[in-house]
Amino acid sequence: MKTKRITFKVTCLALMLGLAVASLPTHGQEIATPYVSVLKGERHFLTGYEPVNKDGTVNIVIEIPAGTTAKYETNNKTGMLELEQKNGAPRFVQYLGYPVNYGAVPRSVMLKSKGGDGDSVDALVLGQAVPRGAVVRGRAIGVLSLIDTGELDDKLVVAMENSPFAKVRSIAELDAKFPGVTTIIQTWFTSYKGYGKDGKLMLSSTGFKDRSAAIKLIGDAVLDYETSVVTEADKRPLDEKGNPYLYRWPGAKNVGE
């Protein structure tokens, strides 16, 4: 009964978002072998795009289009998208396809020294399915708090431009205008890995954080990237306080600014 309820909820979301898509074209040059699939874009997917735009929107590199199951991620060294490998085989989610477009904020990092995984900020992009490798703009409206085998694994929630969600500005507004979406997203991300040896779901969630938490997550991750990850040749100019010049939107100030 529990499985049927989860399946029904996620299926409803797929129908709501128009995700009945068998496959999507990729946005770039795909290089495939029997074991590895690599997508090369016009630019380096990690360093080639700004994280934040002048109007306060964020850029997201789409790694996994909505409705698909292949687990692609950005290779931080090559700047290309690669199909993850597990035990020598390509990795596919053994569940329903992703209910949202899944991607990463360029030029950002969740530092391991701060409890992160050392990769870019993960983003859940609300809107119609878009090709893998596309770089889309959207507005951060909140954060999905996840715990994966005991470790924090927060996901940025973004309302994509030119989509039915484009005018949404907060999680509360998302719930009011699109009832059930947050419930289904939370259900999918806490269920897709299944149960652990203890009989409990491997992922859990404490719910959603508001937009101010999303802005802080982006600001901290971008600043950490610019001050600790980039090479000398790629560093941004610094202001009089020693901080890198970054696009700022007056209505989206980070905590402490």
pLDDT (tens digit, 9 = 90+) per residue, 242-252? 665 554 443 44
Domain extent for 125: 2-252
Does residue 107 sit within a domain? yes
- Structure confidence at residue 61 as a pLDDT band (50, 70, 90): very high
Instruction: Give the pLDDT score at 239.
Output: 65
* Three-class SS state of 34: coil
What is the mean predicted confidence (pLDDT) over 179-202? 95
Does residue 211 sit within a domain? yes
Does residue 163 sit within a domain? yes
Does residue 57 sit within a domain? yes
Does residue 257 sit within a domain? no
Please tell me the total count of domains within the chain: 1
Instruction: Give the pLDDT score at 248.
Output: 43
For residues 46 and 106, is the Cβ–Cβ distance under 8 A? Answer: yes
What is the mean predicted confidence (pLDDT) over 5-24? 41
How far is 117 from 106, CA to CA, in rounded Å?
15
How far is 172 from 186, CA to CA, in rounded Å?
15
Residue type, 85: Q
Instruction: Give the pLDDT score at 26.
Output: 65
Q: What percent of the chain has pLDDT over 70?
A: 75
- Structure confidence at residue 87 as a pLDDT band (50, 70, 90): confident
- The residues, ordered by sequence, that sit 6+ positions from 98 with a Cβ below 8 Å of its Cβ are 64, 65, 66, 67, 68, 69, 188
Does residue 84 sit within a domain? yes
Does residue 79 sit within a domain? yes
Does residue 8 sit within a domain? yes
Rg value, the chain, Cα: 18
Does pLDDT of 44 surpass 80?
yes
- Residue 123: give its domain's CATH number: 3.90.80.10
Instruction: Give the pLDDT score at 228.
Output: 81
- Structure confidence at residue 114 as a pLDDT band (50, 70, 90): confident
- The residues, ordered by sequence, that sit 6+ positions from 173 with a Cβ below 8 Å of its Cβ are 141
What is the mean predicted confidence (pLDDT) over 165-186? 98
